[in-house]
Amino acid sequence: MLAEIGLISLTIAFIFSLYATFASVYGGWRGRLLWVESARNAALLVVPLLTIPVIVIVYSLYTFDFSLAYVYDVSSRAMSPFLRVAALWGGQQGSVLFWAWLMAAFVGIVLLRKWDRDRELMPYVIFVSMLTTTFFVGVVLFITNPFMRLWHIEGAAELTQALFQPLTSMPYLPEDGNGLNPLLRHFGMIGHPPTTYLGFTGFVIPFAFAMAALITGQSRRDEWILTTRRWTLFAWIFLSIGLILGGRWAYDVLGWGGFWGWDPVENAMLMPWLTGTAFLHSVMMTEKRGMMKKWNMALIILTYSLSLFGTFITRTGVISSVHAFAKTALGPAFFAFIGFTFLGSLTILYLRWDTLKSDHSLESFISREAAFVLQNMLFLAVTFAVFWGTVFPLISELVTGTKITVGPPYFQRVTGPLFFALVLLMGIAPLVAWRKQAARTLGKAIWFPFAASLGIAAIWGASHRMHPASIFGLWLVAFVLSAILAEFWKGVQARRTTRNENPFTALFNLIGRNHRRYGGYIIHLGVVLIATGVIGDAYFKQETQGTISQGEVLSVGGYQLEFRELLGYPGSDGRQIVEAVTSLSQDGPIIRELTPRRDYFVVQEQPVTVPGVYSTPGVDVYVMLIGWDDLGTSATFKIYVNSLINWVWIGGIVMILGTMIATWSNPGQREATYVLKPSVLTSHSLLQEG
């Protein structure tokens, strides 16, 4: 009964989205406001209409309604309540529904805002965003319907999945379900997929506004950038969180001691993040100087297309990856959709190219503008390198008949120097003024961070004679870190002298007076910390593997692991656990008892390695149980000593904080940074946005 309500609601949601798509574009084309209003109402109604099937599926998962094929696939009696709820996005059908629902919710929230300033854009914003939503709702309804039931047709060896009872069939109600893939039974399952989806779907909003601005060709054409700045930041930070949580998850469950493997699925997520980051920076050029308008249009189209492309390659398995996604009939429909989106948006851009003219041109190569251009070029270069490496197996197979996969070394070698340059630029660019700056003043601003970082790198390099590239990398992070901190220092000092504030109040007010600028610096700070973690991972990782008997010791990087005993016991979620009790010591005293395990999921017949980790800010000792003999007297361990890896996660948290600050509006205050408004914007305050 419930499932029928879900299905009916889903069907109505599809009809409403379809209606909203066409009513809005008709209303916009003919100038009929009533049609646009009607489309807006229909689009708003899609949100509750999609919420109903989502609730029904969650409820069915929670209450073990195994008559639904989806519930049978991803839920089981042994699974904990939180995993049963998270199973909503644990399989293809549920995750596409969840995706469609998030997108509809985004569109709904946008439609609820005030449309006083940019009413002309509304029909086409509805059109573009609802077209996309309609596609995803249609996929849920027609291709990956989560309300399919299991039927047993007389004489058939296998069960049939269908929405309605096939002839000569009996409904089939299994006792228990298959349950979620064991690798997904992890805390990361709560955070990583939803944040990733929020990131991916969120980009539809700036894209829809950009398209609407192009289609209407209206004179206040930079409005879309101001309106969508926060949306873009929102989507971007969720994509960032998704990336970091995904890395943490991989680190915890995949058992290779790393967090990033340049797998196609990871790359699929990285590429829109890269272009999205470039976009977030280059929009400032349009906002403050009226420059790079074409470029921004191209960038947002690219970002959105890449997020669709990423979803496409991962969901259809066109590029094989170690991440297993079930093969479905999604492919052809999705292909048609991305083809339409890519070509459609490019065509509109082509037709409206001449409306996007810069108000100013580049005045000097030492200027904020030039730094932004360089930064954008670097981001695009990284994106292209990642893209090329990702599709290369496909290209090589087509051209030479041989599938050649480029592994992590390719990505590291190609993107490493580019990332290096980007981080360096991140340290210098914020010190460069808009329009033009004398090299002398710039030198004055950077000499101190530069000298300080040289000192740090020299002292550090002398004490740790290791890989030269690592010293170079450390110099880099030290430099950028001191450059950013110097900015804070200068701001605080200025407030202290002019307003007589104590340092903490001064810092608080400094950030409070200019959220965007200092929020941005804090995001940069997070990036520096992540870079530190990456350097540690790239150059200071130590590993060893060995089989030891009880009482014996395996050593690596100054740590000793003693194997004490092997335990076996049943665990939650239907798993059998084999756990090694070991003690970790550092040159003498025992510092921690570690219990690396191997969980065997009986029903799924799948083992999952759970590492034992000793974690400190400087170093992670990551121990995995690889194997053991039948009597439990000896066991094989793999130990990684991962230096600085925790800074990746800490940096991620700092980035989120910075973004929250940057997104926060400064009520009633003017932006304190140097603003040169393009002429078209002078009649509208920059501060009324959102």
Partner 1 sequence: MTQQPINEQEVPSSPTAKSKKIGLIIAFAVILALLGLLAWGLGKVQAGPRESGMAPDFTITGFDGRTVTLSELRGQVVIVNFWASWCPPCREEAAYLEETWRKYEGKGVVFIGVDWVDTEKEALAYIDEFDITYLNGPDIGTRAAQAYNIQGVPETFFVAKDGELRGVHIGPLASPQLDEKIEKLLAEQYP
> Which spans of this chain sit near partner 1 (rule: CB under 8 A)?
28-29, 120, 215-219, 221, 254-256, 312-313, 316-322, 324, 327, 331-332, 335, 338-339, 342-343, 346, 349-350, 353-355, 357, 391, 393-395, 397-398, 401-405, 407, 545, 605-607, 627
Residue (48 or 607) nearer to partner 1, CB: 607
Instruction: Let me know: does 530 contact 545? Beta carbons within 8 Å.
Output: no
Please work out, in degrees rounded to the nearest 5, the angle formed at the alpha carbon of residue 507 by the alpha carbons of 506 and 510: 80
Question: Is residue 168 classed as helix, strand or coil in its secondary structure?
Answer: coil
Q: At what angle do helices 468-499 and 408-428 cross, to 10 degrees?
A: 30
Residue (252 or 501) nearer to partner 1, CB: 252
Q: How near is the Cβ of 683 to partner 1 at its closest, in Å?
A: 15
Q: How near is the Cβ of 221 to partner 1 at its closest, in Å?
A: 7
DSSP 603-625: TTTEEEEE-EEEE-SSEEEEEEE
Taking alpha carbons only, the member of 363, 250, 233, 220 closest to residue 303 is 233
Compute the distance between CA of residue 527 and CA of residue 61 in angstroms, rounded to an integer: 39
- Buried residues in 279-315 as b, exposed as e (16+ CB within 10 A): bbbbbbbbbbbbbbbbbbbbbbbbbbbbbbbbbbbbb
Instruction: Let me know: does 648 contact 259? Beta carbons within 8 Å.
Output: yes
Residue (335 or 674) nearer to partner 1, CB: 335
Residue (32 or 230) nearer to partner 1, CB: 32
Q: How near is the Cβ of 321 to partner 1 at its closest, in Å?
A: 7
For the chain, report the end-to-end CA distance as a whole number of angstroms. Answer: 42
Q: How near is the Cβ of 3 to partner 1 at its closest, in Å?
A: 29
Q: How near is the Cβ of 401 to partner 1 at its closest, in Å?
A: 7
Residue (11 or 328) nearer to partner 1, CB: 328
Tokens of 688: 């009324």
Q: How near is the Cβ of 198 to partner 1 at its closest, in Å?
A: 25
Q: How near is the Cβ of 341 to partner 1 at its closest, in Å?
A: 10
Compute the distance between CA of residue 99 and CA of residue 75 in angstroms, rounded to an integer: 19
Residue (602 or 653) nearer to partner 1, CB: 602
Question: Is residue 676 classed as helix, strand or coil in its secondary structure?
Answer: coil
Residue (331 or 632) nearer to partner 1, CB: 331
In which element (H, E) is residue 364 found? Answer: none
Number of H helices, E strands in the chain: 19, 13
Residue (274 or 426) nearer to partner 1, CB: 274
The phi, psi pair for 74, rounded to 5°, reads -115, -5
Residue with tokens 């340290």: 427
Residue (67 or 161) nearer to partner 1, CB: 161
Q: How near is the Cβ of 403 to partner 1 at its closest, in Å?
A: 4
In which element (H, E) is residue 255 found? Answer: none
Q: How near is the Cβ of 335 to partner 1 at its closest, in Å?
A: 6
